[in-house]
Chain A
Amino acid sequence: MKSFDPIEHALSVNRRTFLSQSAYGLGGLALAMLQNKVFGVPTTSHRPDGWHGALQEANFPIKAKRVIFLCMAGGPSQFETFDWKPELKKLDGQPFPESFTKGQQLAQLQNAVLKARGSITNFQRHGKAGIEISDLFPNIAAVADELCVVRSMQTEQINHDTAHAFMNTGSIIKGRPSMGSWLLYGLGAETQELPGFIVLMSQGRTGLQPVSARQWSSGVLPSRFQGIQFQTKGDAVHYIGNPDGVCQSTQRQVIEEIERMNGLLDDEQHDPEIATRIAQYELAFKMQTSVPELTDFKNEPKEMLDLYGVKKPGDGSFASNCLLARRLAERGVRMIQLYHRAWDHHGNLENGMKWGAEDVDQATAALIKDLKQRGMLDDTLILWGGEFGRTPMGQGSGRDHHILGFSVFMAGGGVKAGTTYGATDELGYRAVENPVSVHDLHATMLALMGIDHKRLSTKFQGLDVRLTGIAGDIVKPLMA
């Protein structure tokens, strides 16, 4: 990448633009330039109404323009989803061989007698490549040809909170930006009418664990890059609705009057923040208009609702959120993250997995099919998986947390469809073939988005901070 001097550039290209920059510091200057399209020809944004990110040009060919991360919060079991272990089933109820577990970190099974627990379900081969998928997920199995299943994921954190942080930010140190923030920061947004990074939340019947707003924080990046959680109660976005007794046209008049007042202030103060503020009120009003349109499902035909299994549009179910995710993708949102809190099955794995699968199977498959039929699957990267997996050892009627081997899948967005990658040992304890770390997964996802993970950084406390830290390798075999 050629070296670039933003000040020089701004001075020579556009003095007027420069005058509208922040007096508050150089950082402000640089950010304002990002916002105000000072850069020449955009190479990373694809729509006229978006804004550009920090990257001048893509490092790699752009395969995916957006990510939909279906986060199965709580950590679903790989043994009831994508990792068929007949040997484990044979050993069901027997002591788990100590040779596997000695000296390894456990969560709630610390100091307990370890017994093998075979899968509670059966697996069949699906699709052209014959990918083994559990019977609990017939709809996902039906789109096996779109999937790229990774069976050799490993993470470093064995408790929910820190494991989510690691999966989202590549670090457990607080203040690290999450993946969506990195994408917005690097690539900018394709729309100004909606936030560029949106989080949706749903929950199942059992296996719930808390999920912190920290997981979509922009950390040390400015708050403009943070994820915005859509609420299922009240306003979809905080403060998006007009106050009671204020109609849309009054609100418009209020905003125009605010802008007039701010304009008059600028005449005297010449504060570049004023111009930015005026622009933010315009954006706010656009959001006030576009969010209700977005969340109004009435022009979705009944067949579409049935495809996803949406019972009541906007009910906050995973199915409804998947349909909303597609609508967000259509409108140019860069990162859409769905959390489904349902997968922490320390006990009652049998019902827990069955209910969890009922919640997500149909809608996940529907999302893939729907994006495909709209020609959007090619540039939408879907990731399905939890913050970690579960032990091949039983814990009462369930399974404990496990970090040495678990499964996720990707679809669309330039991944190699209809494949599997990596493998765990015969009992599913540890990834032994082509282990993929969280940093590797991030590096690969960024690469699919056209970003070299080693080159997208921000300075914090004097250091270059990256999503992947100082680690991470692109897993080329996952890419088409």
Chain B
Amino acid sequence: MTRQPLFVSFASVGCSLIALATVASAAESTPDNKVHFNRDIRPIFSDTCFHCHGFDPKGRKAGLRLDIREDALKKTDNDVYPIVPGKPDESEIIERLFSTDPDDIMPPPKAHKEIPLAQRELIKRWVAEGAQYEPPWAYAPLNKPAVPVISNQYSVKSGSPIVNPIDNFIREKLAEKKIEPSPEAPKAKLLRRLSLDLIGLPPTPEEVAAFLADDSPDAYEKQVDRLLASPRYGERMAVWWLDVARFTDTVGFHGDQNQRIFPYRDYVINAFNSDKPFDQFTIEQLAGDLLPHPTTEQLVATGYNRLNMMTREGGAQPNEYLAKYGAERVRSVAAAWFGSTFGCSECHDHKFDPIKTRDFYELKSFFADVKQWGVYSDYGYTKNAELAGFNNDYPFPPEIQVDSPYRQAEKKQAEAEIDAHLKTTREDLAKNPRLHGQFEQWITDSRAFLEKDNSGWTSPALSAVILGKGDKLEIDRDVLIDAGLAVQLEKPLTKDESLRIATRTGGVHIASVRIELAQNLADEKEIEASLSKSVKVTASVKAANGKMRRLGVYYADATDKFPRFTNGKETLGVVTEWKLPHSKPAKSPSAVWLLDPPVTLAADEKLVLTISGDSPLPLRISTSPFAGRTPLGLDVAALRSALNTNPAALSESQTALLADTWLFSTAADRADFDRYKELASDLRESRNGKAWTMVTQAVEPLLTRVLPRGNWQSEDGPVVLPSTPSFLPGREESTPEHRLTRLDLAKYIVSKKNPITARAVMNRLWQQFFGTGISSTVDDLGSQGDPPSHPELLDWIASEFRDNGWDFKHMIKLFVMSATYRQSSALRPELHEIDPANRLLASQNPRRLEAEFVRDNALFIAGILNTSQIGGPSFYPYQPPGYYDALQFPNREYVASTGPEQWRRGVYIHWQRTFLHPMLANFDAPARDECAALRVVSNTPQQALTLLNDPTFVEAARLLAGRLLKDANAPTDDARIDRAFQITVARAPKEKERASLEKFLATQRDYYREHVDDAGKLLKIGYAPPTQGDPAEAAAWTTVCRVILNSQEVITRY
């Protein structure tokens, strides 16, 4: 269900429901019984009058402005007084509002904005009472209101006792309406609520039992502190901020390519976990790069400014897209920090709020120094030298490389596994006489080889030909092989040609093949021509009968290379292609290919290398019987020294070097060799513990002009400089001598001068814990937004936040400690007429879990949620096949993550802007194309289908069943159902629930006993190992668990 957008669909029919529901009645019941402009009148004016009589001079009719009191009191062009304070009968607007003449009545019939009688009477009363104006509440200076004193009945006797000032404000209003607050929710339910709210996961039955057993007065507070200290807290809160920051893994426009940014998400999670003050959090994201000596963390934070959508579409105009990026940034920054809608002021002054077009472009110009390209490519029509060589697979600079704790953990683990594996291999070698015999022989052969070829490499005599398309035709073109065995071409190969080089003799053992590009044999022109070119190599063995056998390569790497990418991910090594660097290397570059497995050529066999690519440089080929841990990691000197040492005198490391090199070079123990290859691949995938991330890099600011009607091609508008919004107090302006920066903006935002940020952020945070914002339109605190239900409370929490170190944990603790938060969430039918939307908070509001937490909750219940690490790259949950078929540039193939990664938390799900994962989309997660401050909450058949049939949830159900069946403390059906309820909803089942589920279980048991095949299929869904035990029993319980996981209670925080 939506909170905000929908009721207003009726606004087109005449009035705002909010106005009807709370405003009209509020005026009649406040203690002073007076009409208040902000609460009662502004919403009506804003919806019906300001369009023609408001801020925008272009749309203004009859020269009349109703938003400013002195204008509204002035005689108009028609010689009448719109408002005469205290005298409604002399006020023109009252006459017009109540007129029955279609020519006179306001608003005019063609506006379709009829004002109901009750509201017209209210306006009349307001004029009669003196027509007092108030500044727009959201922009008014922020001062901490006094905490109301509450009568004894409402502070102690009613519901539960008041805990903190939040309760005073809430109960003051309840007392006015003579509504009793609700009692505190039962303890177990309360812990489930708290746990889901603070860490996004339910409590375990053990946690619930401990809490129930703790009857100390601070038992609840201990739970609050425990959960706030949990690393899971940051993962939960990050989701809230990542919506606002529009964090995604892809760029959004056109090909929607991947961007490298996950360290920014780590930053956000860590910021919440370490309770980074919000002022610092703000400054680092908007302007971390402008701080003196910024830390890496502060630079990572500036990824925020890079999260706008980007394009690489051929034919896109750089300036048009720069205008789009700039405009989006204004909308998103304004929404995130000002809770305001700047969008319309791109083209015209805001109709309903005092936001001017100039404000829009002044805010935009703060970011004019952010380095970016309108089109992230180097197309013929728009040359970008810095992006030379980029294609659709390349990332989106500027980026920096940073340590990733997640990857460092992976690296450490892979290294430890490799060490352990090689140690075992050595021990096996020592124990196995057959292998040891081979090893001894290898030592002898290797010594002999090194005596002959001191470098460890040998350069065989060669023959070479050029082949045409399809490897068939021999091209009649000379290939020169010089005395130094360098292969030289007259001109580079065309794309249909390949160079085939064969050794003249066999009888050698080959573990590594090396190609050196003999820069020293080329002239400067050739070297220049080789830059950015590529070399591709395949290796084969040619038998005496002419038959070719392709050799495997398990890894290859080069001394110098230009990085290659697959959809934004760097392709490690040069196995399939060696792309040469863009600038001349200091010495001849070379690359080494490791054979899989190493090969011993018979005397009549030849090694054949087929080389393609467009490098013009001469090649030198050499082979080695040795292979190192990595292609470039062979230390021949150390090897020689070890080989020449008396076995008895070998150091431990020398012994290891010999045994390991033997394994890598011969693969004599094939299983051990293969295992090493896998582990080496894991190690490489840890990317040396590092990750790239997009950051803000400041450059000379682009000129920023007001674009008339948003037209990016126009150069007619005035040039503007950065200035803070004109409608907020304490405006700061650039001068021609002193240009304000992003850092100035960030500091202004978190200064005491600015009243709106604390209000906007606290209002959004409130919604997380109470279901609705104090102003329900958390994305618009402007005059068209919902006036706050408790304006003093909002100001109190906003002041508390701002004046006490911008401390989220402090505020959240205040929220959740309050008696208001702890109330029962059962709906109170008797209050429907007085407070239909529960804005007065006489009870808690239930809250359906957000998409990520619907999934986390199910996986946690199933016992498979992977919380071993914080942060790291995004992962890929199961996804229906073909979902990315309409994505191109590059084409996308979706591969679900395997291993424990599959069950990571939802905050880490790969976020594809153009095709958001269907489970996320179905549960209302935003695509995050722009700042998403408000998630709509809907209730649809697609949600039912997801919970019923998405393999993620079916797998969770069968794993939960497995958990129950394995539980020694739950040996009976009864006990298992009991346990299932404790795990999923922190309570025992009611008798009716138990009876119903037992009957259901019996039916399913009968079915699956007769259909064991079906049981087998059901128990295999997902990547987790099949559920063990009697298949019929496990399938029947899986079906019971599907029912439980689909129930409303499981996906709702009550």
A294 interface residue (CB < 8 Å to B): no
Instruction: Annotate A34-74 by CB proximity to B: 1 below 8 A, 0 otherwise.
Output: 00000000000000000000101000000000000000000
Cβ < 8 Å to A, chain B residues 1-23: 1-15, 17-18, 20-21
- Of B8, B112, B314, B829, the contact of A270 (CB 8 Å cutoff): B829
Rounded to whole Å, the gap between the CB of A141 and the closest CB of chain B is 30
Known: A24-B1, A264-B993, A269-B1054. A462 touches B785 (CB 8 A): yes
B315 touching A463, Cβ below 8 Å: no
> Does A125 make an interface contact (CB < 8 A)?
no
**In angstroms, how far is the closest chain A Cβ from the Cβ of B837?**
5
Cα-based distance from A222 to B13 in the complex (angstroms)? 20
A284 in contact with B945 (CB, 8 Å): yes
Contacts of A6 in B (CB 8 A): 7, 10, 17
Interface pair B882/A233, CB less than 8 Å apart:
yes
The residue from A159, A241, A272 contacting B311, defined by CB atoms under 8 A apart: A159
Of A24, A27, A235, A250, which contacts B880 at CB under 8 A? A235
Cβ distance A163 to chain B, nearest Cβ, rounded Å? 11
Pair B1004/A250 contact, Cβ less than 8 Å: yes
Docked complex Cα distance between A226 and B922 (Å): 10
Do B1000 and A27 touch across chains, with their CB atoms under 8 A apart? no
Q: How far is the CA of A284 from the CA of B887 in the complex (A)?
A: 28
Q: Does B343 contact A (CB under 8 A)?
A: yes
Residues of B within 8 A of A209 (CB): 254, 888
Which residues of A (1-18) have their CB < 8 Å from a CB of B? Answer: 1-8, 11, 18
B-chain residues with CB within 8 Å of residue A31 when the two chains form the complex: 1-2, 6
User: A246 — which chain B residues lie within 8 A by C-beta?
Assistant: 1014, 1018, 1039
A107 to B846 alpha-carbon distance, docked (Å): 51
Given A212-B256, A237-B945, the answer on whether A24 and B317 have CB atoms closer than 8 Å is no
Instruction: Name which residue of chain A comes closest to B316, CB basis.
Output: A159
Binds B, one of A78-86, A371-379, A415-423, A450-458: A450-458
Q: Are B945 and A239 in contact (CB under 8 A)?
A: yes
**Which chain A residues border B939 with CB–CB below 8 Å?**
273, 276-277, 280
Question: Are the C-beta atoms of A284 and B948 separated by less than 8 Å?
Answer: yes
Partner of B938, one of A222, A233, A242: A222
- Those of B412-428 within 8 Å (CB) of chain A: none
Min CB distance, B1011 to chain A, in Å?
A: 8
* CB of A301 closer than 8 Å to a CB of B: no
Q: Is B1003 an interface residue (CB 8 A)?
A: yes
A223 to B920: give the CA distance in the assembly, Å: 11
Give the distance to chain B from A186, nearest Cβ to Cβ, in Å.
Answer: 9
Minimal beta-carbon separation of B854 from chain A (angstroms): 13
Q: Is B1016 close to A, CB under 8 A?
A: yes
Contacts of B880 in A (CB 8 A): 231, 233-235, 238-239
Task: Indicate if the CB atoms of B888 and A210 lie closer than 8 Å.
Answer: yes
- CB of A77, distance to nearest CB on chain B (Å): 15
A185 closest partner in B (C-beta): B9
Given contact pairs A161-B313, A239-B918, A269-B825, A462 touches B343 in the complex (Cβ within 8 A): no
Q: Which of A385-426 contact B (CB under 8 A)?
A: 400-401
Q: Mark B881-902, 1 if CB is under 8 A from A, else 0.
A: 1110111110000000000000
Whether A255 lies near B948 (C-beta < 8 A) is yes
Given A1-B112, A463-B341, A23 contacting B949 (CB threshold 8 A)? no
Query: Which among B18, B940, B1017 has the highest number of chain A CB atoms within 10 Å?
Result: B940
Q: How far is the CB of A286 from chain B (nearest CB, A)?
A: 8
B51 to chain A, nearest CB (A): 9
Report chain B residues within 8 Å CB of A112: 381
Bitwise, B378-414 to A at CB < 8 A (1) or not (0) is 0101100000000000000000000000000000000
Q: Render A103-119 as a binary contact track against B, CB cut-off 8 A, 1 for contact.
A: 00101111110000000
Asked if residues B12 and A464 are in contact (CB atoms below 8 Å), the reply is yes
The answer on a CB contact under 8 Å between A25 and B837 is yes
Do B5 and A400 have beta carbons less than 8 Å apart? Answer: no
Determine whether the beta carbon of B9 is less than 8 Å from that of A273: no
Q: Does B777 contact A (CB under 8 A)?
A: yes
Q: Which of B6, B932, B1000, B1035 contacts A222 (CB 8 A)?
A: B6
Q: Does A134 interact with chain B (Cβ within 8 Å)?
A: no
Contacts A220-B5, A271-B846, A458-B8; A214 near B827 (Cβ below 8 A): no
- Known A107-B316, A111-B381, A212-B256; contact A217-B1042, beta-carbon cutoff 8 A: no
* B91 located at the interface, meaning its Cβ lies under 8 Å from any Cβ of chain A in the complex: no
Question: Which residues from B are CB-within-8-Å of A23?
Answer: 827, 837-838, 845-846
- Does residue A292 face the partner (Cβ distance < 8 Å to B)? no
User: Does A434 reach chain B (CB closer than 8 Å)?
Assistant: no
Decide: A173 near B343, CB < 8 A? Known: A26-B18, A30-B6, A243-B949. yes
Indicate whether A7 sits within 8 Å of B311 (C-beta atoms), given known contacts A27-B2, A254-B1042, A258-B1043: no
User: A7-B836, A108-B381, A174-B929 are contacts. A222–B945 as well, Cβ < 8 Å?
Assistant: no
- Interface 1/0s, chain B 996-1023, versus A by CB < 8 A? 1100100110010001011111111100
Check if B1049 is an interface residue, CB within 8 A of chain A: yes
Residue A431 is within 8 A (CB to CB) of chain B in the complex: no
Judge whether A234 and B882 touch: CB under 8 Å. Answer: yes
A461 adjacent to B990 (CB under 8 Å): no
In the bound complex, residues from chain A placing their C-beta under 8 Å from that of B776 are: 25-26
Partner of B948, one of A108, A251, A265: A251
A210 pairs with B887, CB closer than 8 A: yes
A368 interfacial contact with B, CB 8 Å: no
Tell me the chain A residues, 251-293 only, with Cβ under 8 Å from chain B: 251, 253-255, 257-258, 260-262, 264-265, 268-274, 276-277, 280-281, 283-284, 287-288
Question: Closest residue to A28 on the B side, CB-wise?
Answer: B1
Flag if A24 contacts B846 (CB, 8 Å): yes
A479 close to chain B: CB less than 8 A: no
Asked if A234 meets B12 with Cβ closer than 8 Å, knowing A28-B2, A271-B846, A400-B315, the reply is: no
Q: Could you tell me if A261 and B1047 are in contact, using CB atoms closer than 8 angstroms?
A: yes
Interface 1/0 per residue, B307-325 and A, CB below 8 Å: 0010101111100100010
Q: Does A213 sit within 8 A of B, measured CB to CB? A: yes
Q: List which A197-215 residues lie within 8 A (CB) of chain B.
A: 201, 208-214
Taking a contact as CB atoms under 8 Å apart, the answer to whether A201 and B112 are in contact is no
Task: Report the minimum CB–CB distance from B367 to chain A (whole Å).
Answer: 18
Q: Which of chain B's residues have a CB closer than 8 A to the CB of A220?
A: 5, 936
Residues in chain B near residue A464, CB distance under 8 A: 8, 11-12
CB of A221 within 8 A of CB of B5, answer yes
Find out whether the CB atom of B1016 lies under 8 angstroms from the CB atom of A24. no
Beta-carbon contact of B1000 and A257 below 8 Å: yes
Does B713 sit at the interface, judged by CB under 8 A?
A: yes
Q: Is A160 an interface residue when CB atoms closer than 8 A count as contact?
A: yes
For residue A350, give the distance in angstroms from its CB to the closest CB of chain B. 20
Q: For the complex, is A32 an interface residue (Cβ under 8 Å from B)?
A: yes
- Minimum CB–CB distance from A86 to chain B (whole Å) comes to 28
Query: For residue A25, which residue of chain B has the nearest CB?
Result: B3
Contact between A208 and B838, CB atoms less than 8 A apart: no
* Chain B CB within 8 A of A432 CB: no
Selected from A223, A272, A346, the residue in CB contact (under 8 A) with B936 is A223
- B713 CB contacts on chain A under 8 angstroms: 105
**A228 close to B (CB within 8 Å):** yes
Contact (A460, B5) CB under 8 Å given A212-B256, A239-B918, A265-B1049 = yes
A175 at the interface (CB under 8 A from B): yes
Q: Which residues of A contact B112 (CB under 8 A)?
A: 1, 454-455
Q: Shortest 8 CB-CB distances between A and B: which pairs?
A: A462-B784, A459-B8, A28-B1, A245-B1018, A107-B315, A3-B14, A233-B882, A245-B1017
What are 24 A-B contacts defined by CB distance under 8 Å? A3-B13, A8-B20, A19-B832, A24-B1, A24-B847, A26-B21, A26-B836, A27-B7, A110-B317, A158-B315, A175-B932, A210-B254, A210-B889, A226-B921, A234-B880, A245-B1017, A254-B1043, A257-B996, A261-B993, A261-B1044, A265-B1048, A269-B846, A284-B942, A463-B344
* Given A222-B2, A223-B936, A254-B948, 14 extra CB contacts under 8 A: A25-B771, A26-B17, A27-B5, A108-B315, A158-B315, A213-B915, A213-B916, A238-B918, A246-B1018, A261-B1044, A265-B1049, A276-B939, A277-B1048, A283-B944
